[in-house]
Amino acid sequence: MKYYLFGVALFLVFIQCKTDTIKTVDVSNINVQTEFIDFHKQFYQLKPTELLAFKKKHAFLFPSAVPDSIWLAKLKDPNEQLLFSKVDSVFGSCIALEAELLDLMKHIKYYKPSFKSPKTYSLITDLDYENNVVYADSLLFISLDMFLGATSEVYASFPEYLSENYTKEQVVISVAKEIAAKNFPIQNGRTFLERIIYKGKQLYLLQKLLPKKEDSEIIGYSKEKFAWAMHNESQIWAYFVSNELLYSTDQKLNARFIDPAPFSKFYLDMDKESPGGIGKWLGWTIVNAYMQTNKKTLSELLQTDAETIFRKSKYKPKK
């Protein structure tokens, strides 16, 4: 595969190449009831004498088995206060985040009228990267300390390919992923083609729910990595076809081409210039081709099997 240093001109092309299958829908009249609780700010600004009343107000967040001494120690812990100060410097009053979340909830309700917005709590969870967003129907918890910016020193021990998406721009995307997974079920499959189109459906759904986000942000690629994928599309496709991967059921292909990783594994010299999970990008491209060729609703797309999508997409890589 060939890789080129594109410079500023390529970024202009990239911006212009954002898919035209996503039509912005009018959600201005969608009525959703939202409530955002800046729990992290309220807690870390407490005076010790205010803890009891605060616990009563948010009792379900304070397990009875945990003594007050633990909470008081957290309030005094310099490392926790430092983390709070970093969160505060990035998110401030959270007004911008609340606006993004409101827009997301409206889009979700547009596509699923029965959806009810959860009450949202902002937290600091000591860099709990496995639970940066937790959605439980009526409740949504967001660990803001996992979105401080890719270069934040608090992520020094994290792999770069993971921490590059620990940014405030990714908060609403992470929230959308969690809510979408429970409200818009999608069938996966055994073959590589089924698995990448499954991922493609997920990404297309995120496009519909977050029309203001760039494609590169939605998939979690830098603009350079996204441009690499677009430029090498025909070579990526040729590799999968020539190696007969599309109908393979080899689960090892997940680690090579679907799962989060620093790069995709073609076992070629230029692997390290590729983004990880290139298979999901290709699946997304096929899904977009299908939606351009076939006038289907979002619900119809999500229920359509992978083979039909692939066949009717008439997909041909750009050269």
Q: What is the pLDDT of residues 134-180, one digit of tens each?
A: 999 899 999 999 999 999 999 999 999 999 999 999 999 999 999 99
Looking at the domain assignment, is residue 68 inside a domain?
yes
pLDDT, tens only, 64-119: 999 999 999 999 999 999 999 999 999 999 999 999 999 999 999 999 999 999 99
Q: What is the pLDDT of residue 22?
A: 59
22-37 pLDDT, tens digit per residue, is 568 999 999 999 999 9
Same domain, 99 and 206: no
CA distance 319 to 305: 27
**192 in the same domain as 98:** no
Domain final residue, candidates 127, 160, 193: 160
- Judgement on whether residues 138 and 231 belong to the same structural domain of the protein: no
Whether 47 and 124 map to the same domain: the answer is yes
pLDDT of residue 318: 81
Q: What is the mean pLDDT of the chain?
A: 93
Separation of alpha carbons 45 and 42, rounded Å? 5
Boundaries of domain holding 284: 185-313
Work out how many domains the chain is built from and give that number: 2
Q: Is residue 166 one of the residues assigned to a domain?
A: no
- Residue 226's nearest CA partner among 148, 218, 165 is 218
For residues 152 and 190, state if they share a domain: no
* Domain match, 132 and 215 both: no
- Of 145, 160, 175, which marks where a domain is finished? 160
pLDDT at 6: 42
Residue with the two structure tokens 């009717």: 312
Neighbouring residues of 217: CB distance < 8 A, sequence distance ≥ 6: 169, 170, 173
Average pLDDT over residues 53-60: 97
- In this structure, the answer to whether residues 122 and 196 fall within a common structural domain is no
What is the value of pTM for the model shown? 0.92
Say if CB 193 and CB 310 are below 8 A apart. Answer: yes
User: Predicted confidence band at 5 (pLDDT cuts at 50, 70, 90)?
Assistant: very low
- 146 plus 247 within the same structural domain: no
- Exposure pattern of 2-39 as b/e (b: 16+ CB <10 Å)? eeeebeeebeeebeeeeeeeeeeeebeebebeeebbbb
Same domain, 204 and 147: no
Q: Is residue 2 part of a domain?
A: no
Q: Are residues 199 and 101 in the same domain?
A: no
